[in-house]
C-alpha cells in the first residue's frame, strides 16, 4: 500500500488525500477524488511550473481523447497527487475528471 506522503514534488492538498483515503474503501470514490482534483487543478499548478501548464490543461480538455491527455497532464503537473491514484482506478478517476469538465467546473 502506498503511503499518503509519497516523496514526490508538487502540491497534494489535504482534501485530495482525504478523498483518496475514502476512495480506498469505495472503488467508485476515485471518481469523486478525480472530480474534486479537476475543479481545483488550475489553482494547484505549482508556482515553478512552466507558464504553459495551464494552457496545456485547456488543450487537454478539448483533445480528441481528453481522458488520456488529462491523465498525462495530471501526472506531469501534480505528480504527488497522482502517485496516490492506483493505475487500476484510472478509468474511475477520469470519470470524475470528465464529469467536472462537462459541468464546466474546470
pLDDT in tens, 12-67: 999 999 999 999 998 789 999 999 999 998 888 876 677 677 777 777 777 777 78
In a domain, 6, yes or no: no
In a domain, 1, yes or no: no
Residue 85 is classified by DSSP as: S
Considering its fold, how many domains does the chain have in total?
Answer: 1
Residue 29 is classified by DSSP as: H
Residue 83 is classified by DSSP as: T
In a domain, 9, yes or no: no
In a domain, 8, yes or no: no
Query: By the 8 A CB rule, do 104 and 36 touch?
Result: no
Residue 82's Cα: distance from chain center in Å? Answer: 6
In a domain, 5, yes or no: no
Query: By the 8 A CB rule, do 91 and 83 touch?
Result: no
Structural domain boundaries enclosing 63 = 14-102
Q: What is the pLDDT of residues 82-105, one digit of tens each?
A: 999 999 999 999 999 999 988 989
In a domain, 3, yes or no: no
Amino acid at each position: 500500500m502506498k503511503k499518503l506522503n509519497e516523496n514526490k514534488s508538487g502540491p497534494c492538498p489535504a482534501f485530495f488525500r482525504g478523498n483518496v483515503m475514502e476512495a480506498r474503501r469505495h472503488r467508485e470514490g476515485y471518481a469523486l477524488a478525480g472530480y474534486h482534483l479537476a475543479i481545483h487543478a488550475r489553482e494547484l499548478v505549482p508556482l515553478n511550473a512552466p507558464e504553459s501548464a495551464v494552457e496545456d490543461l485547456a488543450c487537454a480538455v478539448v483533445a480528441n481523447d481528453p481522458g488520456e491527455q488529462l491523465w498525462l497532464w495530471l501526472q506531469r503537473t501534480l505528480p504527488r497527487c497522482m502517485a496516490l491514484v492506483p493505475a487500476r482506478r484510472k478509468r474511475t478517476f477520469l470519470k470524475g475528471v470528465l464529469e467536472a469538465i462537462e459541468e464546466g467546473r474546470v
